[in-house]
Structure 1
Amino acid sequence: MKRHIPVQIEWHPDPAQPVPVYRQILEWMYGKMESGEWPAGTRLPSQRAMARHFQVNRSTLNQALKPLLEAGVLQGRGSQGTVVASTAWSLRLPVQPDWNRYMTAGYFRANQEIVQAINTLEFDDRLIRLGTGELDPRLFPQDAFRQTLRDVADAITSLGYVEPLGMPALRQALAGYARKRNLMVAPSSILITSGALQGLQLISAGLLRGGATVYVEDPTYVKSLQVFQSAHLRLCGLPMDDQGLSLEALEKHLRQSSDIGNSVLYTIPTNHNPTGRTMSRQRRVQLLALCSRYGLPIIEDGAYEELTFDGTPPPSLKSLDIGGQVLYLGSVSKSLAPGLRIGWMIAPEPVAQRLGDVKMQIDYGASSLSQQVLARFLTSGRYAQYLDGLRCELQRRCQAACQVLSEVFTGLADWQVPQGGFYIWLTFHDRLPMDLLFRKAVSAGVLINPGDIYSSRHTQSLRLSYAYTTPDEFRRAVSRLAAVVRSSLAVSAKNSYTGLVASG
């Protein structure tokens, strides 16, 4: 059964106003219902969540809700929580649409509530973002990009639609860029997408049947999980070691599978998200051989590949692929600018053409302006020059971050030093309530990404990012986080001791 989705609240009461806080909340809620922004059937967050968001105690919140509940405007419905029962305008309508029913009927699944919270809190400037999957905006190459925009502005003649595979100039530039990384590809095998994530959506919609099996590393990129699940594909998580996904586990599943011909492997072999691990060259060769033996196609996500610190990542699976079994996804969302919304897929020509046709049905092509800008940024040499500096800076930040972790978390957690990318996967030795840790960290001014959102199991881990913060900011955030962790461990130990005494 699909769960009912609570409305997200961004507004906050102002304690400095002469109007009591409870009255502000009451009037604001009534205004949302009176205006129709919250129609009948709208589910509110839990009272605990609302009290935490409004930064009031439960009695103050109850004081605000009581008149609405007594008037029948709000109604408690057990496990569904508090919902809007009626509004002034809805009472005048002969038939009221049940928007909750519509919202739970769509095929896109709702994000986990903690993911929704992260998506909202990432825009709160009071928090240090310790787990975010985005580059520090202060690293953006402003001068080089402005020059590129001027170049494009001088040459631009129109902003019309482009052909199904994308702008030829950009595909040519990407083919040339790929050749420098020993990936021989023709422009006709490149499909421009609106970000690499859309590549996964196109594959799910255009190549896979409902119920198909997608083998993934566990943990893996959270957005990929959402895309595959919303497409009604069956996920099969594979354990990882220091060199990447376990080939033994994959082969065991393949031997037992009755789904050959309707399954695919999705992997991030270089600077993995969220663990930061990089698959060894030997294992890449073995993985290709194993998948070839079972006829299993591979989706290779190369979003972090060019962020390897020394500039020489292991060869991509696609560059080792001689049989056309690998679909390669690339993007500049991690290396340059997510706002460009430009990614690409390298695939056999018939596959690129099929998915190009699907894309035309969805959005009629990625932004032609963004494509022109990226093509110029690539061919001018500015992108390669920028990447050299970016890799050095990321390496500096990574080294500083690992030093801080050694000072603060030695004995409490384990981690692996990455070769590139954004992330460090921090795994605690002792069990911690991750939801509570998340809330306490936010209260301490730190936004973290619990590892459980990337996995089907309880991980006891956090995804830490050194890409968004300066070393000083990272140190400050980790110090606050360590205080929260130690406090939580102390409470857990006390509760365990109390439980033992009581049972004795």
Structure 2
Amino acid sequence: MDYRCFALQKDASTPLYRQLADHIKRAVKEGELQPGEKLPPIRKLAEQLGISPITVSQSYDVLALEGVASGSIGRGTFLLPRPSITSAFQAKPLQPTLEGSQQPPAKPPEWMAALQQQLRLPRAALLQRTLQNAVKRWPAEEPLLHFSSGNPDANLFSLERWQEAMTQAGISLKQEEDTNNLQYGASALGDPALRSFLAAYIRRYGIYVDTESILLTSGTQQGLDLIARSLLQPGDSVFVEEMSYISALDIFEQRGVQWETIPLDEYGLQTEVLARKLEATPQNRPRLLYTIPTGQSPTGVSLAQERRRHLAELARKHNLLIIEDDAFNELYYQGVTPAPAIWNYETEGRVIYLKSFSKTIFPAVRLGCIVAAPALLSVLVRQKQIFDRPTPISTTRTVLHYLNALAYERELTHIRRTYHQRRNALLTALEQELSPFGCHWSIPQAGFNLLLSIPEHLDSIQVVEEAASRGLVLAPGQFFAPVRTQQSSNTLRLTFADKSPQQLEEATRRLAAVLQTLVQTERRPIHSTPQFTTEV
């Protein structure tokens, strides 16, 4: 079959991967494709249709989820025995048979197939599936080396201290003898004791508020979801950095938003570009900006102080609401104090500040907070009460005692020093191993990730698959791009926090070997377009 007859509309509201999957299902229904037929290799079909290999890969993932096709590393993707397809060309997902049974899989009801069609596959799920497919290439029994986990180092967390804090929390709650603590809580904002502590804690970032301006949440993701539910409607546009936090992208996209991207450089979000966009379309433009100013994810760069001030000025001038996501301000690698929050420069309530302690206590704690003007916070509280109660006081009181201990600041210093050493080890290894290939990378000022740009003629999915065959797991950068571009298709997210310097050196050597293999196969000159400076 000539797949070039598939008419893909790049400017349509339906994603390209969904369009391609629908075309293939239509061809199956009309008999143009037969059960057992092998679909073209991902890169070959991408070239035929003039689209990214990741788009084809996502389309094949959709077909697999809907029971239309099945793929495996080394064999390819094949159409399954043809199920009944609805008039909307909706394939029913196949169900696993009992072990040893020769009966065909049971077909789910029509409503379930229709529901799957409506549900959008999140970026995080697509990334996870991509990585799972890639690691099947690693036949060895040795453990894989995960170079893109995005995780902190669990060995740096103290369970003994957490146990002590739990004990102290139980004692303090018993001494209070407040029966509201055993119910759903006296305040919808969450534990007053922890909010009082946090009001003092965030002053180090230039944020001066009282306890009534703080709402406790189950981590940053719940905070982002509350904001999206409360302030956004399908079709709304949002300003966002050109590479961003994958969970935030998923949350906002579930609300049906449209992205207006702002480029990044080594000093963070380019506020002068944002200013031009605000001036160019004063009426029909996004009213909200989502930004990670410190340890930006996935690049690790931090917004320069003068740009923070400029961003606050733009918010006042254009009535722009800023969502300031702060997960890494304690994990800074330059200077002797954390960077001031954008909130510090905007005092009229146009900043919603999100704080998480998942990276400094441990991720399983799942506790964060939203800081906002009381009038705005009341809207978020009402939304939270619809589907959740106040954050459990057993958790909040334990976190209070954990953070309030003198050991916490000492632990932060140790964690920061350890990550800084690992960051430097990775930067040195990249310079030694990847500079000859024309690679470029961001220099993290905080956090534990950086973004690597590979030679332009290589696709990150191709690199991920080849790396997996060498026992190296990588995350393609395009999953972190709100709007996928050719530039984002040539990037990889690398994590240094959870690896020793020796592991980082070995991972970089393996990546260099992967690039050497692919460059020799392509037989094309090495060239890469830098996104960020490579000067330490």
Same fold (TM over 0.5): yes
1:333 aligns with 2:358: yes
Q: Any idea what SS the aligned residue of 2:288 has?
A: strand
2:459 to 417, 433, 451: 433
Q: Any idea what SS the aligned residue of 1:328 has?
A: strand
| Distance (whole Å) between structure 2 residues aligned to residue 45 and residue 390 of structure 1 | 48
Q: Any idea what SS the aligned residue of 2:436 has?
A: coil
Aligned to 1:14: none
Aligned to 1:371: 396
Do the aligned residues in 1 keep the contact of 2:93 with 2:113 (CA within 8 Å)? no
Aligned to 1:314: 339
Distance 1:481 1:323, change over 3 A: same
Q: Deviations over 1:136-193 (max 9, x none)?
A: 1111122322221222233444553232111111111111111233321111100111
Pairwise CA RMSD: 3.5
Q: CA deviation at 1:298?
A: 0.7
Aligned to 1:143: 160
| Distance (whole Å) between structure 2 residues aligned to residue 139 and residue 188 of structure 1 | 33
1:279 to 303, 306, 314: 303
| Distance (whole Å) between structure 1 residues aligned to residue 432 and residue 423 of structure 2 | 14
Q: CA deviation at 1:449?
A: 1.4
Q: Deviations over 1:21-64 (max 9, x none)?
A: xxxxxxxxxxxxxxxxxxxx96248433xx22xxx746xx98xx
Aligned to 2:444: 418
Aligned to 1:488: 518
Do the aligned residues in 2 keep the contact of 1:450 with 1:463 (CA within 8 Å)? yes
| Distance (whole Å) between structure 1 residues aligned to residue 475 and residue 295 of structure 2 | 17
1:160 aligns with 2:190: no
TM-score by length of 1: 0.80
Percent of aligned pairs sharing the same letter = 27
Aligned to 1:104: 117
Do the aligned residues in 1 keep the contact of 2:134 with 2:465 (CA within 8 Å)? no
Q: CA deviation at 1:128?
A: 1.9
Q: CA deviation at 1:120?
A: 5.7
Q: Deviations over 1:50-95 (max 9, x none)?
A: x22xxx746xx98xx9xx83xx7799x9x9889539986997x9x9
Q: Any idea what SS the aligned residue of 2:330 has?
A: helix
Distance 1:491 1:330, change over 3 A: same
Aligned to 2:374: 349
| Distance (whole Å) between structure 1 residues aligned to residue 359 and residue 20 of structure 2 | 30
| Distance (whole Å) between structure 1 residues aligned to residue 327 and residue 459 of structure 2 | 31
Q: Any idea what SS the aligned residue of 1:47 has?
A: strand
Do the aligned residues in 1 keep the contact of 2:237 with 2:285 (CA within 8 Å)? no
Aligned length: 446
Q: Deviations over 1:391-432 (max 9, x none)?
A: 111111111111111111113211233222112221124321
Query: Following superposition of structure 1 onto structure 2, how do residues 108-147 of structure 1 map, counting pairs within 5 Å?
Result: 109-111=121-123, 114-117=126-129, 126-147=143-164
Do the aligned residues in 1 keep the contact of 2:92 with 2:113 (CA within 8 Å)? no
Do the aligned residues in 1 keep the contact of 2:84 with 2:91 (CA within 8 Å)? no
| Distance (whole Å) between structure 1 residues aligned to residue 20 and residue 158 of structure 2 | 40
The letter for the 1-side match of 2:362 is: A
The letter for the 2-side match of 1:184 is: Y
Which sections of structure 1, spanning at least 5 residues, go unmatched? 7-40, 497-504
| Distance (whole Å) between structure 2 residues aligned to residue 429 and residue 80 of structure 1 | 39
Aligned to 2:508: 478
Distance 1:302 1:311, change over 3 A: farther
| Distance (whole Å) between structure 1 residues aligned to residue 356 and residue 441 of structure 2 | 27
Do the aligned residues in 2 keep the contact of 1:73 with 1:85 (CA within 8 Å)? no
| Distance (whole Å) between structure 2 residues aligned to residue 260 and residue 292 of structure 1 | 18
Q: CA deviation at 1:495?
A: 12
Q: Any idea what SS the aligned residue of 2:163 has?
A: helix
Distance 1:266 1:86, change over 3 A: closer
2:248 to 216, 224, 234: 224
| Distance (whole Å) between structure 2 residues aligned to residue 123 and residue 361 of structure 1 | 41
Q: Deviations over 1:201-249 (max 9, x none)?
A: 1111112233222101101112111111111122100111221112232
Q: CA deviation at 1:110?
A: 2.9
| Distance (whole Å) between structure 2 residues aligned to residue 437 and residue 213 of structure 1 | 33
Which sections of structure 2, spanning at least 5 residues, go unmatched? 1-13, 22-63, 98-102, 137-141, 175-180, 527-536
Do the aligned residues in 2 keep the contact of 1:4 with 1:80 (CA within 8 Å)? no
Q: CA deviation at 1:271?
A: 1.3
Do the aligned residues in 1 keep the contact of 2:441 with 2:452 (CA within 8 Å)? yes
Do the aligned residues in 1 keep the contact of 2:147 with 2:474 (CA within 8 Å)? yes
Query: Following superposition of structure 1 onto structure 2, how do residues 363-402 of structure 1 map, counting pairs within 5 Å?
Result: 363-402=388-427
Q: Any idea what SS the aligned residue of 1:463 has?
A: strand
The letter for the 2-side match of 1:117 is: R
Larger CA deviation: 147-156 vs 164-173 = 147-156
Q: Deviations over 1:115-135 (max 9, x none)?
A: 132676899993222112210
Larger CA deviation: 239-248 vs 325-334 = 239-248
Distance 1:45 1:133, change over 3 A: farther
The letter for the 2-side match of 1:427 is: S
Aligned to 1:406: 431
Query: Following superposition of structure 1 onto structure 2, how do residues 172-191 of structure 1 map, counting pairs within 5 Å?
Result: 172-191=196-215
Q: Any idea what SS the aligned residue of 1:180 has?
A: helix
| Distance (whole Å) between structure 2 residues aligned to residue 453 and residue 297 of structure 1 | 25
1:466 aligns with 2:493: no
| Distance (whole Å) between structure 2 residues aligned to residue 237 and residue 377 of structure 1 | 38
Q: CA deviation at 1:387?
A: 0.9
The letter for the 2-side match of 1:111 is: R
Q: Deviations over 1:240-279 (max 9, x none)?
A: 1221112232122212335568620111111111111111
Do the aligned residues in 2 keep the contact of 1:5 with 1:43 (CA within 8 Å)? no
| Distance (whole Å) between structure 2 residues aligned to residue 143 and residue 121 of structure 1 | 38
TM-score by length of 2: 0.75
Q: Any idea what SS the aligned residue of 2:110 has?
A: coil
| Distance (whole Å) between structure 2 residues aligned to residue 296 and residue 381 of structure 1 | 39
Do the aligned residues in 2 keep the contact of 1:260 with 1:295 (CA within 8 Å)? no
Q: Any idea what SS the aligned residue of 2:118 has?
A: coil
| Distance (whole Å) between structure 2 residues aligned to residue 147 and residue 185 of structure 1 | 30
